[in-house]
Structure 1
């Protein structure tokens, strides 16, 4: 990363995280063929906590007691909120509908960054954020042909949960390595997710095959742990609001993965929308963003 600016390095790391997250919706749809939303939420968190806990023990990382409130907030949003809300939504709506969530996530993250982290994006940044979100939502509406319904409410709740946890994660990742942030949040939630898994296992498992087990493992090891290692580091380096705009690409990453796994065709309109979003992200990267530092913030 030495040849890249801090902002560019942050956006590159964020893009790696987004690529990993891009498979989350397709994998969730596959896993839901054999697991209930509640079991899927709990079990994927247990798998992620096992991997994170092993790494924390192996590297002898001390528990950051002073950051307990932030870790609890991250756990509520990333471990429980987004997985359960999105799983419920994907029971009744197609994968393309997930573009709604992906379209509003960056904008919501920027709003939470302003409220929680003191970031103050300029007018150009907000214009790019709204334009990029509008492009992705328009693409989803055009391709999915859906009508707003109950699934949209669950998706909106999922987006709020994810964006809030992203801001807390990015803020805390300035004091701790990004992998530790998500690792400790997962371990902190492990007693609840383990008990939850055991309680719902009897009614939440329905004859899974290799594909469903593979999807479950991906959601646990990559969507809930591996992706956050890159994502949190990117948010800390490049700034939460700015790097969050990279997530506008997640819709198109999801479509590409779905095309590879399910044989879905990607038309010229998809490429056109992707190029338009790329331009908006590039333009937003150059926008001015300031931060109001809290008292003592420089003494991390």
Structure 2
């Protein structure tokens, strides 16, 4: 199997790039689909806590960062320029710190299925931020879908909170915004650096913070083996290998186009949470999830005009 780091030796057609981008995007989405259940598995619940959410978030980035040093050295990657460093720092704020920290705190208090439904608006949020950053002008239908998607997840959060919002829902929305911003900035710089170098440099540059914070929050008591298994997954796959496929997909297939495959992620996350965590998927939750995914899918199909 050829390496993901291999660059094309000749020009490719837009249709070929779109197909490769969608395929790699699907691989990334499948890897990321396990992130929410595995984060819940690693951190446990408020009633039965396991690893501290701060340790999970910083520890996974620190472990992946140490592996990234080896990768960058072995591949002879060049150092980022000053302008690239600023974009990498923005990417790190979203995918290294924002998403895992907010998600880790949230799933201590809500189950993985609940978090999966709320995170279902992630593809639409990514498209909104991409449109703003790329100075695009989405159609009225796009904005209506974005508003409807937000209304649906807020309604779901209200219903699951017994006619009231939980503070964990606000954390989940902050996690979605963080991930969206990180996806867009990471995809943009993937045109100067390879997709693998982007996430590796993001993780290496974060090490001065992630490594000591993880060490300070090392578990002081024994935790279940399953918690360490969840931590291993989010460190190696969610934080590292998944981005190899995801950033390359966004770079070659287009952020707005490829991010539409992410509509499958909530379904996969919910279905995987049932055997992994023993959670129950009730019909109303499934209905909300289907509605959110349908709105996101329609929203991704709405025309977006690119300004000169």
Give the shorter-chain TM-score range: 0.7 to 0.9
Contact 2:118 2:153 in 1 (8 A): no
List per-residue Cα deviations over 1:81-134 (Å, max 9, x = no partner): 111111111111122221353123222222211222223333444455555666
Q: What does residue 213 of structure 1 align with?
A: 228
Query: 1:267 Cα deviation (Å)?
Result: 7.0
Q: Quote the Cα distance in structure 1 between the aligned partners of 2:300 and 2:126.
A: 15
Q: Quote the Cα distance in structure 1 between the aligned partners of 2:169 and 2:291.
A: 25
Q: What does residue 262 of structure 2 align with?
A: 247
> Where does structure 2 lack aligned partners over 5 or more consecutive residues?
1-11, 45-49
Q: What does residue 186 of structure 2 align with?
A: 169
Q: What does residue 22 of structure 2 align with?
A: 11
1:225-236 to structure 2, matched below 5 A, reads 225-236=240-251
Of residues 79, 84, 89, the one that matches 1:63 is 79
Q: Which moved more, 1:230-239 or 1:55-64?
A: 230-239
List per-residue Cα deviations over 1:174-206 (Å, max 9, x = no partner): 2222121111000000121111112222xx443
Contact 2:117 2:288 in 1 (8 A): no
> Where does structure 1 lack aligned partners over 5 or more consecutive residues?
294-300
Contact 2:186 2:247 in 1 (8 A): yes
Contact 2:96 2:203 in 1 (8 A): yes
Say if 1:256 and 1:141 are closer, same or farther in 2 by CA, change over 3 A.
Answer: farther
Q: Report SS of the residue matched to 1:93.
A: coil
Contact 2:111 2:279 in 1 (8 A): no
Query: 1:51 Cα deviation (Å)?
Result: 2.0
Q: What does residue 303 of structure 2 align with?
A: 288
| Matched residues, number | 291
Q: What does residue 38 of structure 2 align with?
A: 27
Q: Report SS of the residue matched to 1:174.
A: coil
Say if 1:152 and 1:15 are closer, same or farther in 2 by CA, change over 3 A.
Answer: same
Q: What does residue 172 of structure 2 align with?
A: 155
List per-residue Cα deviations over 1:196-235 (Å, max 9, x = no partner): 112222xx44312321111111111111111111111222
Cα RMSD of the aligned pairs, angstroms, is 2.9
Q: Which moved more, 1:255-264 or 1:47-56?
A: 255-264
Q: Report SS of the residue matched to 2:217.
A: helix
Q: What does residue 178 of structure 1 align with?
A: 195
Q: Which moved more, 1:41-50 or 1:240-249?
A: 240-249
Contact 2:119 2:173 in 1 (8 A): no
Contact 1:15 1:247 in 2 (8 A): yes
Say if 1:152 and 1:80 are closer, same or farther in 2 by CA, change over 3 A.
Answer: same
Say if 1:225 and 1:146 are closer, same or farther in 2 by CA, change over 3 A.
Answer: farther
Say if 1:207 and 1:4 are closer, same or farther in 2 by CA, change over 3 A.
Answer: farther
1:137-148 to structure 2, matched below 5 A, reads 147-148=164-165
- TM-score computed with the length of structure 2 as normaliser: 0.81
Query: 1:286 Cα deviation (Å)?
Result: 4.7
Q: Quote the Cα distance in structure 1 between the aligned partners of 2:77 and 2:89.
A: 18
List per-residue Cα deviations over 1:21-77 (Å, max 9, x = no partner): 111111111111321111111111111112222111111101112400000111111
Q: What does residue 257 of structure 1 align with?
A: 272
- TM-score computed with the length of structure 1 as normaliser: 0.83
Q: What does residue 212 of structure 2 align with?
A: 195
